[in-house]
Structure 1
Amino acid sequence: MNAYAVVSHFRDDIPEQKEVMKILKEHLKYFAKCSEEGKVLIAGPHAQEDGSFGGGGVMVLKTNSKEEAEDLMANDPFVSKNIVDYTIYEFRVVNLRPELKEWFES
């Protein structure tokens, strides 16, 4: 298994807030499912320059390949409906709390 950090940012041309909130529900449901499947360790919105949260997110994924991580992200409603752009960073886990070892090694 490989570990990936994903950082996303809202696009400049996103729809009205009401539409974004509707898609947010789909986005949260999708990542809850991915978490249950053991593919997402943590995920959530990141702080903006003004200290507010929203406008993008950060997550740690565990997949068999970068292609699988890309497929996971491509199926995110925020991605498929052009709300966010994202970057995937593969990384090597070198420090890990003991309680997370089983998750990363499974």
Structure 2
Amino acid sequence: MQFIYFIRPHKENFAETMSEEEGNIMGTHFLYLQELLNAGKLILAGPETTGKFGIAIIETESEDEARDIMMNDPAVKSGIVTPELYPYRVSLLRK
């Protein structure tokens, strides 16, 4: 099963105004996504270029597993972003 989760920062201009602590959390968030990639769970991830949201497309055995992955994302756990999870299906993928 595939899912997409969005993260939306709690403040505008987050990328330009994040504190040192928030920057550290986002660094840990990036490492978390790298771990998911290495584990074969992450298909792709990245931010929208103006910083309004980021996405991660993941592949899991269940929605519960996908929700656990999303809720354990350090950026989500810290409360600096709001998460949203949706079922998803990659239909076309460039080689």
TM-score range, shorter chain: 0.7 to 0.9
Name the aligned partner's letter for residue 45 of structure 2.
A
Q: TM-score, with normalisation over the residues of structure 1?
A: 0.75
Q: Displacement of 1:90 after TM fit?
A: 0.2
| Higher relative strand content | 1
The count of residues paired between Structure 1 and Structure 2 equals: 92
What is aligned with 1:76? Answer: 73
2:69 is equivalent to residue 67 of structure 1: no
Q: TM-score, with normalisation over the residues of structure 2?
A: 0.83
Name the aligned partner's letter for residue 27 of structure 1.
H
RMSD: 2.4
What is aligned with 2:26? Answer: 24
Q: Displacement of 1:55 after TM fit?
A: 4.2
Give CA deviations for 1:8-42 in whole Å, capped at 9, x if unaligned: 10124x8x521111111111111100110011111
What is aligned with 2:87? Answer: 90
Name the aligned partner's letter for residue 61 of structure 2.
N
Q: Displacement of 1:98 after TM fit?
A: 7.9
The secondary structure found in structure 2 opposite 1:96 is coil
The runs of 5 or more residues in structure 1 that have no matched partner are 100-106
C-alpha distance in structure 1 between counterparts of 2:26 and 2:94, whole Å = 33
2:38 is equivalent to residue 41 of structure 1: no
| Structure whose CA Rg is larger | 1
C-alpha distance in structure 1 between counterparts of 2:70 and 2:36, whole Å = 10
Cα distance, 1:21–1:67 mapped onto 2, change above 3 Å? same
The runs of 5 or more residues in structure 2 that have no matched partner are none
Q: Structure 1 vs Structure 2: percent identity of aligned residues? A: 30
